[in-house]
């Protein structure tokens, strides 16, 4: 009667959540200052002022009926227009309001897209290491997640492996740049290469293979990069964006799905995404947080907050002797574990109240993910614990 796979999923949420929940309990036992929780990607730079200002302005000047009422299921039209304008101005995205679906964050966007495109037995390619819940979402629609390995300098895709893994059952290739968990940002060269491979394979198999670009970290880039917008490289791309990280609103569940006018059956695809989301129970994205968007597009939480953490932690860890991928975006460091078994390594760290996530859960063993969306104190006081951990393995 009750599907056991969901009982199991409900029992063991995810390696990240397990560590995070442990951390909350542990802090009550030994005190906040004695637990160094680098487990979860919960942005801790405060939401930018525009958020609170917009909410209060709306509460004081809009009607309850409009502000809290149902919007169109695909999102309020004016909000979709504002998002389309922003994407066109910022990235030359060649989209319009009808091609925007306002979603409850990136995860429901991915769920709606997978549900809309994947039949039982279809394959979805992802580049390892990757956010664990891609597997949950692909499993849900009966698809098979196929991992392509990375090269281990920049953690860009291994193109030969991509070529070998695409077959006639491949429907979707997922990218996630800036990347969780490595912090890698795909540059124009990487996107061009992926696009070339996917175009050739789409032609070979006689149907488009969609590129699904999961972009919650798009605005969290710490260098003088201009983010290369994916639809400009590969027209059959579906962008799943979230404001969770950009505006530090992960709990509020607001984001969007966007395609370009040149996409395969663009307008039918947009309609189908709406129909798919409705079938999964999505009535509309939270209305208040839809209506703040026109006032907050282009703004971000204070990125220096994360950049400083990154710099201190990267330098601190490499000085100790750790091997760390240099991250250009997001708020994660991907650190080589000091033994083969990353889960054991994480548990040794946990015994020191240092909470870091084993990379096996990201489909790529041998590393740990260190989230640096934490307060400075945790970074500064955490470094000696990383040193203690290092010494335990390497001697003093």
Which residues within the stretch 136-165 sit at the binding site for a copy of itself (CB under 8 A)? Answer: 136-137, 139-140
CB of 6 to a copy of itself, least distance (A): 4
Nearer to a copy of itself, 144 or 152 (CB): 144
Nearer to a copy of itself, 284 or 293 (CB): 284
265 lies in the site for a copy of itself, by CB under 8 A:
yes
Cβ-contact 107, 88 below 8 angstroms: no
Q: Is 126 left (phi over 0), alpha (psi -120 to 50) or beta?
A: beta
Nearer to a copy of itself, 84 or 273 (CB): 273
Residues 31-60 interacting with a copy of itself (rule: CB under 8 A):
40, 42-44, 46-47, 51-52, 55-56, 59
30 lies in the site for a copy of itself, by CB under 8 A:
no
320 lies in the site for a copy of itself, by CB under 8 A:
no
Nearer to a copy of itself, 228 or 286 (CB): 286
289 lies in the site for a copy of itself, by CB under 8 A:
yes
Other Cβ atoms closer than 10 A to 253 = 18
CB of 303 to a copy of itself, least distance (A): 15
8 lies in the site for a copy of itself, by CB under 8 A:
yes
CA 223, CA 174: separation in Å to the nearest integer?
24
293 lies in the site for a copy of itself, by CB under 8 A:
no
CB of 182 to a copy of itself, least distance (A): 21
Which two structure tokens, joined as six digits, stand for 301? 């939480």
67 lies in the site for a copy of itself, by CB under 8 A:
yes
Q: Which of 171, 201, 235, 350 binds a copy of itself (CB under 8 A)?
A: 171
Nearer to a copy of itself, 110 or 197 (CB): 110
Q: Which of 18, 50, 146, 272 binds a copy of itself (CB under 8 A)?
A: 272
Nearer to a copy of itself, 9 or 385 (CB): 9
Size of the site for a copy of itself (CB under 8 A): 87
> Which part of the chain contacts a copy of itself (CB under 8 A), choosing from 187-195, 280-288, 335-343, 357-365?
280-288
CB of 5 to a copy of itself, least distance (A): 7
CB of 7 to a copy of itself, least distance (A): 4
312 lies in the site for a copy of itself, by CB under 8 A:
no
Closest CA to 176 of 102, 259, 115, 107: 107
Residues 88-127 interacting with a copy of itself (rule: CB under 8 A):
104-105, 107-112, 115-117, 119
Nearer to a copy of itself, 292 or 324 (CB): 292
CB of 228 to a copy of itself, least distance (A): 26
CB of 105 to a copy of itself, least distance (A): 6
Q: Is 75 left (phi over 0), alpha (psi -120 to 50) or beta?
A: left
SS (H, E, C) the chain: CCCHHHHHHHHCCCHHHHHHHHHHHHHHHHCHHHCEECCCCCCCCCCCHHHHHHHHHHHHHCCHHHHHCCCCCCCCHHHHHHHHHHHHHHHCCCCCHHHEEEECCHHHHHHHHHHHHCCCCCEEEEECCCCCHHHHHHHHCCCEEEEECECCCCCCECHHHHHHHCCCCEEEEEECCCCCCCCCCCCHHHHHHHHHHHHHHHHHHCCCCEEEEECCCCCCECCCCCCCCHHHCCCCEEEEEECCCCCCCHHHCCEEEECCCCCCCHHHHHHHHHHHHHHCCCCCCCHHHHHCHHHHCCCCCCHHHHHHHHHHHHHHHHHHCCCEECCCECCEEEEECCCCCHHHHHHHHHHCCEECEEHHHHCCCCEEEEECCCCHHHHHHHHHHHHHHHHHHHCC
214 lies in the site for a copy of itself, by CB under 8 A:
no
Residues 181-210 interacting with a copy of itself (rule: CB under 8 A):
207-208, 210
Nearer to a copy of itself, 98 or 149 (CB): 98
Residues 238-257 interacting with a copy of itself (rule: CB under 8 A):
248-253
């Amino acid at each position: 009667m009750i599907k056991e796979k969901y009982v199991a999923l409900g029992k063991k949420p995810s390696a990240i959540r397990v560590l995070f929940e442990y951390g909350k309990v542990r802090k009550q036992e030994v005190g906040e200052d004695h637990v160094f929780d680098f487990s979860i990607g919960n942005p801790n730079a405060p939401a930018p002022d525009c958020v609170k200002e917009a909410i209060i302005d709306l509460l004081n000047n809009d009607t309850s009926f409009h502000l809290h009422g149902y919007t169109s299921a695909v999102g309020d039209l004016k909000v979709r227009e504002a998002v389309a304008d922003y994407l066109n101005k910022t990235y030359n995205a060649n989209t319009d309001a009808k091609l925007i679906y306002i979603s409850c964050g990136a995860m429901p966007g991915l769920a709606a897209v997978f549900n809309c495109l994947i039949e039982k037995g279809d394959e979805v390619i992802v580049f390892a290491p990757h956010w664990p819940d891609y597997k949950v979402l692909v499993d849900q629609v009966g698809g098979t997640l196929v991992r392509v390995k990375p090269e281990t300098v920049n953690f860009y895709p291994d193109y030969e492996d991509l070529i070998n893994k695409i077959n006639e059952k491949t429907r979707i290739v997922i990218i996630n740049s800036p990347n969780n968990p490595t912090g890698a940002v795909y540059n124009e060269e990487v996107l061009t290469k992926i696009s070339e491979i996917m175009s050739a394979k789409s032609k070979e198999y006689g149907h488009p293979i969609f590129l699904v670009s999961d972009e919650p970290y798009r605005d969290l880039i710490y260098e003088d990069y201009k983010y290369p917008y994916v639809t400009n490289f590969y027209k059959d791309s579906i962008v799943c964006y979230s404001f969770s990280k950009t505006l530090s609103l992960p709990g509020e569940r607001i984001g969007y799905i966007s395609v370009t006018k040149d996409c395969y059956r663009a307008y039918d695809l947009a309609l189908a995404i709406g129909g798919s989301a409705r079938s999964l129970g999505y009535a509309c994205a939270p209305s208040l947080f839809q209506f703040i968007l026109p006032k907050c597009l282009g703004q971000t939480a204070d990125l220096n907050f994360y950049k400083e953490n990154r710099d201190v932690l990267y330098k601190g860890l490499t000085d100790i002797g750790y091997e760390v991928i240099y991250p250009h975006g997001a708020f994660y460091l991907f650190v080589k574990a000091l033994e083969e078994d990353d889960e054991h390594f994480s548990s040794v760290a946990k015994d020191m109240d240092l909470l870091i996530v084993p990379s096996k859960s990201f489909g790529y063993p041998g590393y740990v993910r260190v989230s640096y969306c934490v307060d400075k104190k945790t970074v500064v006081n955490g470094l000696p614990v990383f040193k203690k951990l290092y010494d335990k393995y390497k001697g003093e």
